Amino acid sequence: MRYDFTADDVFEIAEQMERNGAAFYRGAAGRVTDPGHKALLAGLAEMEVEHEKMFASMREELKGKEREPTVFDPEGESERYLRALADTRVFFEKRMDVSTMEGILLAAIQAEKDSIVFYLGMKDLVSKDLGAGKMDRIVREEMDHLRSLSTELVRLKGPAGG
């Protein structure tokens, strides 16, 4: 089956990926002992929750063709495909060293990079009349998150670089 994705489809993926990210950060917070690191990871989890809300709001604002399914799919195959993409693409099914705060931040940075590449690729699969331009905001949000994580990694390593 060929899929022509709409902006609605991509926002659905984005919401799931943000839920996955929040779960990653909550899990990581449970593995660290430093109170400052726990607070940072809790804040990152909350940032993911806020992104999910933002993407859900943006999804609600979609109009017409941007929301309509592009194929007849009575079995919900495209929804299962999208959920599988969201669940495995970025934060899950990867080997990540999350035994240290540095490892957690490096894994999160890699996940953000992967998500940006993923969204840019998805943008190419969504035609302009189905809302491709709306993906730019998702990419900008993920790039902002990537900058925040990189800043935290530099701060963690300190002035001597580690």
Q: How many domains does the chain have?
A: 1
Assess if residue 47 is contained within a domain. yes
Residue 32 domain-assigned? yes
Question: Which CATH number fits the domain that encloses residue 20?
Answer: 1.20.1260.10
pLDDT band of residue 81 (cuts 50, 70, 90) is: low
- Nearest 10 degrees: CA dihedral of 83, 89, 91, 95? 130
Determine how many CB atoms are found less than 10 A away from the CB of residue 137: 15
- Looking at residue 95, its pLDDT comes to 61
Residue 162 is assigned to a structural domain of this protein? no
- Residue, of 73 and 20, whose pLDDT is higher: 20
For the residues 34-48, what does the mean pLDDT come to? 94
Report the candidate in 112, 136, 137 with the shortest Cα–Cα distance to residue 124: 136
25 part of a folded domain = yes
Residue 1: inside a domain: no
Which pLDDT tens digit goes with each residue over 21-34? 899 999 999 989 99
In a domain, 22, yes or no: yes
Q: Is residue 54 part of a domain?
A: yes
Rounded to two decimals, what is the model's pTM? 0.76
Give the distance between the most distant pair of CA atoms in the chain. Answer: 58
**78 vs 143, higher pLDDT:** 143
User: Containing domain of residue 72, as a range?
Assistant: 7-157
In the structure, what pLDDT confidence band is assigned to residue 96 with cuts at 50, 70 and 90? low
